[in-house]
Structure 1
Amino acid sequence: MSSPPALARRLGTFDAVLIGLGSMIGAGVFAAFTPAAQAAGSGLLIGLLVALVVAFCNATSSAQLAAAYPSSGGTYLYGRVRLGPWSGYVAGWGFVIGKTASAAAMAMTFAAYAAPAGWERPVAIAAVVILAAVNYHGVSRTAGLTRILVVAVILALGLAVALCWGGSVPDAGMIAGGGLLAHGWYGILQSAGLLFFAFAGYARIATMGEEVRNPRYTIPRAIVIALAITAVVYAVIAITLLAVLGPDGVAATPTPLTDAVDQGSGAWATPMVRIGAAVAALGALLALIAGLGRTALAMAREHDLPHWLSAIHPRYKVPHRAETVLAVLICVVILVADLRGAIGFSSFGVLVYYLVANVAAFTQPSADRRYPKALQVLGALACVVLVATLPPLSVGVGLAMFAVGICLRLGRLHGARLRES
């Protein structure tokens, strides 16, 4: 029996780090701080630290697994190999539904900054179509465009921070607001769950393991580097926003960074910051589409999604059918989605995904172990806690979607047994 066609290994460490940065920075800086401030006020700083610790635990588990199993699919693959088909399926389903919502949220974030009033949804859909076409033409083009987007975003963020602190507006006393614990630990943990959405981009590096050169070395290194850079950027932005707007100001606006720039003498640069925000959202959306396609490819290879989605384009070496179908689904979500709800729902699906990753990494033999088991235990427990403290609507919708996924797989297995008999 011939083996399925493989993807081409074209990405080095630098490109893999950039794909991770493009996935994370656009999501967090321009989408997650507002709902986090609504949940925890200034306590979002503690929530950010908690989210970082959880992300680090999950990242080390993903890196350890990806080094041992360098194929497309991420935790869907690892769960199947280490824990069994059902665990892999739950992880893959959580990733696909959660990241489809996340991709829609990033498209809507782009449109919020770039589109004229009333044109947000059409512009968001157009962005999905264009970036899906870029992905369709090969991962090298994806990495090349991501490189440009990441540089543009870092420059825009640097300009915004410099303008905020260069004027007379920032007040260090506003950072703590009414106190870091004013909203209680439940609010802080809820903010951590929402901010975790902003750190989840490193998964894109692991899901593209079949396209990375020297994966045992490249993937672990790229994940840790991308996460460290992103953590520094988020901390600087969070402190800047709180110093300029205060916790109530951050909670009251969907565009906190541009509002912070507007407060000072750098209002002239607001259009440039808006462009940076739009570019950041595009970078995240580009990497999301790529990661979704690879996980769908792995699931289709195992018949957990329709098998015809496993096709790889003979010229461009990408899962073109999977990416096309997912792009259509993202566009459908854009037509009906609420941005804040999409963030919470995405966090639910991705936290379940990483729960499976931590448990799978815990079972690896010593020969494949790179990190202590304590990190995997902490990561798994933290995923459960953060899921439980997400907004109730996000938890309810997440449970319903997982129930749908489980029923679909049960139906497929029942049909397969009937055909065999």
Structure 2
Amino acid sequence: MRPIFGHAVRRGRCGISGYSNKSTDPKSATLANPFYRNQGSVTASQRVLSNSGLASSRVGFRGVEDLGGGLAASFWLESSITNDSGQEGIQSFARRSTVSLSGSFGEIRLGRDINATFTNDFVFDPLGVNGVGVNLLYRAGTAMSKMGVPQSAGVSPVLTNAYARSSNMVSYFLPPNLGGFYGQVQYAFNEKTQTSPGVLTPAATDTRSGRFVGGRFGYDRGPLNVALALSRNTLLSDYLTGTTLRQDTVNLGAAYDLGVAKLFGEVSRIKNRTIVTGLAASTASDLDLSGLMFGVNVPVGPGVIRASYAKVRYDYHRPFNTTPDPKARQLALSYVHNLSKRTALYASVARIDNRNGAALSVGGPSFVSGALVPSRSTGYDFGLRHAF
């Protein structure tokens, strides 16, 4: 019998987080409405014991079997855990559940895995896509992937975040010996029932959602790492009405290590398309988002200072519309103090400024709505990370 190598990994984070989300009334008295009384502002705040302020808490199992001749078979099972309440654990392996065959040809991977475009979001985020300082491009992409898509009650948020991960996926990864060049392609099956002829399609007419196509290609050698990623994600479909909600994403990320500091940057373009076929084709609607992020990690003794700035702008393609496009910007700052290779203390703060109807937040309670619109969101994290 050939040797099998495996291990279990648990990464726990727990800390205290605070959120403050402010909504304001942008209106004032006008000639048309001279008696309007501005409603002022309302702030919704919350303080919690959080479980993922520095990196996501998780438990995982991995194993590799040497098949000889340069071939290897492996598996990877990983589940989110909630240290603060203990209510979420190994009920499912929704973070990752894959089996692989690898060799000199590269790697073929099957199962639930990370989407190629989301990979750029966390690889090139100096704060690691966690806590109040999460990459604003990822926040916006996740929110757009849920627009118009029902979120099933009782289902883990990891399962309902189609922007980050896909199930039923087949992936191919290039071998690691290409002089710094790397790449992957992905295809996720929607596993929906198809009926022929189509007029006999039953009441449950979702025949396309869950299909994902993506790829990521880059170069990582010396101080430079740069990658371009693209994806097309079918979020929702209705065969009988002829509608499909599709999300197309393209992003470019880069990092450069100067030694005294590591620089990060990312630009992203996300398009939501509601495609309507047949007689109602003219009712199709679009939503575009463009954004950029740049940041830095600065080693300081046993720790590292992390900072980022990001901004996004929405475009609804509304004809004859004079309303300014919604936009948001985020500033985040963090410090991680390493007590050992496996244990660290961390503290982070972040602030998002929303304009013209944008509604992105660092977390916590929803913005108060009604006559008010989202204005500012601030938050903090501090706590302990331990991995074993």
Task: Give TM-score scaled by structure 2 length.
Answer: 0.22
Larger radius of gyration: 2
If asked which structure has higher relative contact order (CA below 8 Å, sep 6+), I would say 1
More helix by share: 1
More strand by share: 2
Task: Give TM-score scaled by structure 1 length.
Answer: 0.21
